[in-house]
């Protein structure tokens, strides 16, 4: 009887391990060898726009130097799960992504999968980049290849158990990674559709401006409604048209902030948002206006209560 019970427990454990392995298998967006067409399809000029819309320099530019195009990584992002360090994404062949193919960047951005087939941590906002167009990623790679090579690898993440088990991210992705491509809404204007794409895909605005649940997923009911900064550095504002957010702001006000960093009250943004403005200021005015159009169309939402000042 004991022997049968032991065999049954072993069989159950093996079956459970098999299900876990299957559920957590990294899934790529495109094959590792997709063919020559994707590799040669990118346009660096268009890629510069994708680079700025995606805010690549905000995280990946080497800290404590002025050139935002030196993408040696090293910026540390603290969180309740550990400290994540932005990697070198310069075209350095050893320390950056100079040896990557376009397919590698597509899989990283759209599925959070490394060239080696491992999960990336969602401190890299692939949960939003997943809605980007493959052709935009190809353009981005063409642009990245024109930038300076920066020598030196960024330090490793500092993450404790159980979050250091990357395979477990496969379960997290099952819950929070939506890989559905954004489709234009024919009932909306081209400006609105462009704004939605910039906000919901390339710009990944919800990643910072939304509260999260205990395991790091965005709370859908409070998306864009602001909340505590994950790094413990204050409060991220509500950017829905709620009275607690942007209800009193015009589209021109939002577009102006994305260009100059100034609010309608003549205050200026600070912290990481100042770096975001450096990116959005480099976009065409039509794109900033489109982002404003989309943000003003969001449903008004109230996020978590802001703690009283001590």
Shared-domain flag, residues 234 and 112:
no
Q: Is residue 1 part of a domain?
A: no
Mark which of 176, 198, 231 sits at the end of a domain. Answer: 176
Note the pLDDT tens digit of each residue in 195-240. 999 999 999 999 999 999 988 899 999 999 998 887 667 788 999 9
Is 42:142 a contact under the CB 8 Å cutoff?
Answer: yes
Q: Is residue 70 part of a domain?
A: yes
d(Cα 73, Cα 140) in Å, to the nearest integer?
17
Shared-domain flag, residues 76 and 140:
yes
When pLDDT is averaged across residues 8-21 and rounded to a whole number, the result is 56
Q: Is residue 80 part of a domain?
A: yes
Q: Is residue 302 part of a domain?
A: no
Q: Is residue 5 part of a domain?
A: no
| Among 95, 93, 1, 102, CA closest to 47 | 102
Q: How far apart are the first and last CA of the chain?
A: 64
Mark which of 151, 176, 201 sits at the end of a domain. Answer: 176
Shared-domain flag, residues 272 and 212:
yes
d(Cα 145, Cα 280) in Å, to the nearest integer?
21
Range of the structural domain that residue 39 is part of:
27-176
d(Cα 122, Cα 111) in Å, to the nearest integer?
10
Q: Is residue 305 part of a domain?
A: no
Shared-domain flag, residues 84 and 109:
yes
Mark which of 141, 176, 211 sits at the end of a domain. Answer: 176
Distance from chain centroid for Cα 181 = 15
d(Cα 24, Cα 68) in Å, to the nearest integer?
36
| Among 218, 129, 130, CA closest to 172 | 218
Shared-domain flag, residues 164 and 228:
no
Shared-domain flag, residues 223 and 169:
no
Shared-domain flag, residues 39 and 159:
yes
pLDDT at site 23: 62
Shared-domain flag, residues 155 and 196:
no
Q: Is residue 86 part of a domain?
A: yes
d(Cα 294, Cα 285) in Å, to the nearest integer?
14
Shared-domain flag, residues 142 and 226:
no
Is 11:19 a contact under the CB 8 Å cutoff?
Answer: no
d(Cα 201, Cα 54) in Å, to the nearest integer?
8
Number of domains observed in the structure of the chain: 2
Q: Is residue 258 part of a domain?
A: yes
Shared-domain flag, residues 165 and 223:
no
- Residues paired with 98 in a beta bridge: none
| Among 190, 187, 55, 186, CA closest to 124 | 55
Shared-domain flag, residues 232 and 169:
no
Shared-domain flag, residues 119 and 89:
yes
pTM of the full structure: 0.90
Task: Provide the pLDDT confidence category of residue 8 given band limits of 50, 70 and 90.
Answer: low
21, pLDDT greater than 60: no
pLDDT at site 235: 85
């Amino acid at each position: 009887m004991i022997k049968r019970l032991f065999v049954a427990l072993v069989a159950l454990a093996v079956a459970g391990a098999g299900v876990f392995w299957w559920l957590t298998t990294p899934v790529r967006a495109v094959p590792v060898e997709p063919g020559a067409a994707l590799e040669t399809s990118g346009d660096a000029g268009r890629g510069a726009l994708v680079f700025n819309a995606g805010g690549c320099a905000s995280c990946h530019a080497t800290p404590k130097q002025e050139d935002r195009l030196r993408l040696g990584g090293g910026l540390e992002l603290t969180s309740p799960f550990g400290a994540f360090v932005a990697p070198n994404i310069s075209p350095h062949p050893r320390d950056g992504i100079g040896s990557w193919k376009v397919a590698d960047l597509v899989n990283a951005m759209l599925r959070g999968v490394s060239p080696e087939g491992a999960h990336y941590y969602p401190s890299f906002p692939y949960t939003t980049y997943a809605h980007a167009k493959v052709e935009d990623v190809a353009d981005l790679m063409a642009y990245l290849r024109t930038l300076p090579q920066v020598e030196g690898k960024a330090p490793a993440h500092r993450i404790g158990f159980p979050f250091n088990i990357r395979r477990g991210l496969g379960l997290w992705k099952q819950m929070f990674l939506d890989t559905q491509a954004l489709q234009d809404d024919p009932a909306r204007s081209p400006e609105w559709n462009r704004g939605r794409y910039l906000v919901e895909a390339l710009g990944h605005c919800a990643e910072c401006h939304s509260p999260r649940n205990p395991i790091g997923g965005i709370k859908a009911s409070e998306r864009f409604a602001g909340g505590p900064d994950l790094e413990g550095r204050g409060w991220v504002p509500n950017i829905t048209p709620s009275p607690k957010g942007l209800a009193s702001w015009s589209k021109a006000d939002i577009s102006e902030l994305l260009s100059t960093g100034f609010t309608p009250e003549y205050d200026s943004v600070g912290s990481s948002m100042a770096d975001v403005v450096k990116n959005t200021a480099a976009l065409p005015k039509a794109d900033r206006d489109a982002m404003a159009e989309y943000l003003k169309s969001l449903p008004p939402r109230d996020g978590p209560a802001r703690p009283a000042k001590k």
